[in-house]
Structures are given as structure tokens and as C-alpha cells.
Structure 1
Amino acid sequence: MQIRQFTESDWPQVWGIVRSVVRPADTFTYDPAMTEPEARATWLESPPGETVVAVNGTEVLGTAKVGTNKPGPGAHVATASFMVAATSRGQGVGTALLRYTLEWARIHKYAGMQFNAVAESNRNAVGLYVREGFTIIGTVPGAFAHPTEGRVGLHIMYAPL
């Protein structure tokens, strides 16, 4: 597996991943009816941030975006998001993408990385983030309407760099 910058030819596979992750409405706070143009505008980061893909040959296994969490006085904190193809889950793709974004943030001299809205029901992601040094610094109760678990909390997670 290689992690590299997104190229335009990756978009059809990235869109397939984004669509398959967002439509069930069980992990991301994105609108499950998100259109392809909306997905492009949301997922593709502008510099100084970047969007990357994890690939095996020409197959996109997963994707991540990383950049500044908020501009202005909070611009020293990074954020990132991750999506892994259903057929590639449980194979270390998410871990590799997370580690890549953490290293990116260190290289770019960010003080930490913050995730603003991690559904507490997304146990695999929460467990991965905790294993890689993040802590839950707060939870907004009932802020995520999970399709089968009902309203669950959204964690705010942080890792100092």
C-alpha cells in the first residue's frame, strides 16, 4: 500500500468511497443525499491542506483530507477526516492514513490535531484514534442521529503534536 496525493484520475474511486460511507448516515455528519459536486467541494482540500489516497496499484483503498481546523487564532491546530473502502476495512488502511496525517501536521508545525465530530457509535474509529494518542475532550450528547442506535453523542477528540 502506498499513500500519495490525490490526482484527478482518482476521483471516480474516491467518489465511490465517499458515497458508500456517507449514504448509510451512520458515521459522518454529512448529508446522506450529498451529490457528487457537493462531495468534491467538501472532500478535496485546498492548500495548505491536502487530500491523499491509499492505493494498491491503481485501486484506491481509502482517502483522507488534512488541513487547518479553523483559521485565525486557532490556525495552529490541524484536523483530518478519513474514509476507507468497504472491501479494505480491517486491513490497516485507516491506521496508515491517520499516521500519515499526523506526520503531515507535525511537518507543517501544527501544535495538535482536533476532530470536531466523531460519532461515539463509530467505535472502530474512536478506538483507533485513542490508540494513536487522541483523547476525548468532550461529547455533545445526542448530537448525531444514528439510523439504528438513535441519537448518540459526538466526540471532540484531540492529540497534541
Structure 2
Amino acid sequence: MAIFAWVLEIGGKGAAMSDFDVTRQTERDWVEVWRVLQPAFRAGESYPLPRDVSEEDARRYWIKTDGYNAVARDSAGLVIGVYYLRPDQGGPGDHICNAGYVIAEAARGKGYATALCLQSQDQAREMGFRGMKFNLVVSSNAAAIKAWKKAGMEIIATVPGAFRHPALGFVDANVMFKSL
């Protein structure tokens, strides 16, 4: 178990974020993890899953045997966010990880996405990864792009029209990367 306190620059001023606890996800956590994932998956604005994805299919997507899943809880024990880390490729490409994050709706806009990304980078280094790559950051998801850039990720490519947004139609998707 690890406790983190982060200070992020918000509007030019340092703003202290409350402590949060990040632990490896266990079987017991799934119900709470699904409560965080389900609204994001149903919205269809950021993950390449059908909006009506079943809980079991979502679970198979989120949890991989070669990966690491984490749960972040605030000081009251409420789940504020979740993430996964896993090799982006196999074999000679397995030193670069892929990661995905979802912040609970009630915790959004408070800097947790950036803080979790930074914490996951530490976790990725501990696991031996030398870089982190996001394959599909939807260009209309400005909050995510801002958070990932604050965490040191850079846009290295943009794929035109790669994501079918439910309200905006075909939008671009960014590939982001950071050396670890």
C-alpha cells in the first residue's frame, strides 16, 4: 500500500491535493472498479469499446494476465480512479507499456488524472518498462490531453478520424509517449 500527496500547478498557483492511496487491484475491488468504468464506457467518448459493452467483456478488456491494475482511493476510502499498465507489444517491444485510466465522475477536475499518471509512471519503472505509450487519446478529450501533458507525455502522432465519437462523429486520435 502506498500513500501519495501531490501538489499540482493549477492556474499558476500550487494547489495541494488530498492524500490518496494506490493499491494493486484485487478480485474484491471489481465491483467498485466497474462503478468507475461503466459510466466512462457507456459515454463512448474515450475508450474503443461498444457503449453497451457487457460487464464481463469490459472486465476482459481492463484486466490482462500480463498487466498490472491499480485502484486509487481518497482518504475516506472512496475509489477516485483506476488504471492499468501492460506491455504495449510483445517480444522485443515489451519494454514499452500501455496504460489506461478512468477517474470517477465525482473526482474529475481535481488533478487526480495527472497524479495517477505520474504514480503509474513510477510503477511502470519499477516493473522495468522504459517508456509509456497511449495509443488512442481522443482529440476531443481536452481534459485528458492536458493531464497527460502535465505528466510529461507528448503527442507523437495524430491519426485522422480514428475515433467515432457518439456526438461529434469521426474525430482524430493522438498517440502519446514518454520515455521512462
TM-score, normalization by structure 1: 0.93
Q: How many residues align?
A: 160
Contact 2:114 2:150 in 1 (8 A): no
Partner of 2:92: 73
What residue ranges of structure 1 are gaps of 5+ in the alignment?
A: none
Partner of 2:69: 51
Q: Which amino acid aligns with 2:89?
A: K
Give the SS at the match of 1:125.
helix
Higher RCO (C-alpha under 8 Å, 6+ residues apart): 1
Question: Is 1:7 the counterpart of 2:26 in the alignment?
Answer: yes
Partner of 1:90: 109
Give the SS at the match of 2:43.
coil
Q: Distance in 2 between matches of 1:34 and 1:4?
A: 26
TM-score, normalization by structure 2: 0.84
Higher Cα radius of gyration: 2
Match of 2:83 among 55, 64, 79: 64
CA distances 1:130-157 after superposition (whole Å, capped 9, x unpaired): 1211111111101111122221101111
| Structure 1 position 81, deviation (Å) | 0.3
What residue ranges of structure 2 are gaps of 5+ in the alignment?
A: 1-19
Give the SS at the match of 2:58.
helix
Match of 2:133 among 104, 110, 114: 114
Q: Distance in 2 between matches of 1:4 and 1:53?
A: 6
Q: Which runs of 4+ in 1 moved over 6 A?
A: none
Aligned-residue RMSD, C-alpha: 1.3
